[in-house]
């Protein structure tokens, strides 16, 4: 649902954006709130909030988020300040840096994972 906020420059942290099935986007995307990605994205994704990759979602990107919940495919590294949840249909080909990692049975994860908070702080400082 799209909401007009007039001339307000204040970010709406409760907002949800969608890149749906049939959409393909390439570039650098920075967003506030939650992004639901059911289409294809290639490039870089940045937010301090939440990325939801649906079962039909395909991402080729460097991903830096507050939290990621993934049911689709990601090729690229994921850095999450809070947590990464990989649902059973998730396919991840890249490294993950996060303090909390949740994996359901059936996930394919081909990469390395660092869960120490010092590692996460070091990665965020270099970004």
Mind listing the pLDDT tens digit for each residue in 66-118? 999 999 999 999 999 999 999 999 999 999 999 999 999 999 999 999 997 66
Q: Is residue 28 part of a domain?
A: yes
pLDDT at 4: 41
Q: Is residue 11 part of a domain?
A: no
Q: Is residue 10 part of a domain?
A: no
How many C-beta neighbours within 10 Å does residue 30 have? Answer: 10
By residue count, the chain amounts to 127
Q: Is residue 1 part of a domain?
A: no
pLDDT at 10: 46
The answer to whether the CB of 37 falls within 8 A of the CB of 23 is no
Q: Is residue 105 part of a domain?
A: yes
Domain ranges, residue 47: 16-126
User: For tokens 């939440």, what's the residue?
Assistant: 50
pLDDT at 5: 44
Question: Residue 3: pLDDT above 50?
Answer: no
More confident residue, 121 or 22: 22
**pLDDT tens digit string along 29-49?**
999 999 999 999 999 999 999
Residues 6+ apart with CB under 8 A from 12: 3, 5, 32, 33
Q: Is residue 78 part of a domain?
A: yes
Q: Is residue 94 part of a domain?
A: yes
Nearest CA to 120 out of 93, 101, 92 is that of 101
pLDDT at 97: 96
pLDDT at 8: 46
pTM over 0.85: no
Count of structural domains within the chain: 1
Q: Is residue 6 part of a domain?
A: no
pLDDT at 33: 94
Question: Residue 63: pLDDT above 70?
Answer: yes
User: For tokens 């994205």, what's the residue?
Assistant: 41
Element (H, E) at 124: helix 117-126
């Amino acid at each position: 649902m799209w909401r007009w906020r007039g001339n307000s420059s204040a970010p709406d942290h409760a907002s949800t954006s969608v890149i749906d099935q049939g959409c393909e986007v390439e570039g650098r995307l920075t967003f506030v709130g939650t992004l639901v990605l059911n289409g294809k994205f290639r490039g870089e994704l940045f937010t301090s909030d939440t990325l939801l990759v649906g079962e039909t979602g395909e991402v080729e990107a460097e991903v830096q988020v507050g939290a990621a919940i993934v049911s689709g495919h990601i090729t690229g590294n994921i850095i999450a300040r809070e947590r990464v949840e990989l649902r059973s249909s998730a396919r991840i080909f890249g490294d993950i840096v996060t303090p909390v990692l949740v994996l359901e049975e059936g996930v394919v994860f081909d990469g390395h994972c660092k869960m120490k908070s010092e590692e996460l702080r070091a990665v965020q400082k270099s970004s």
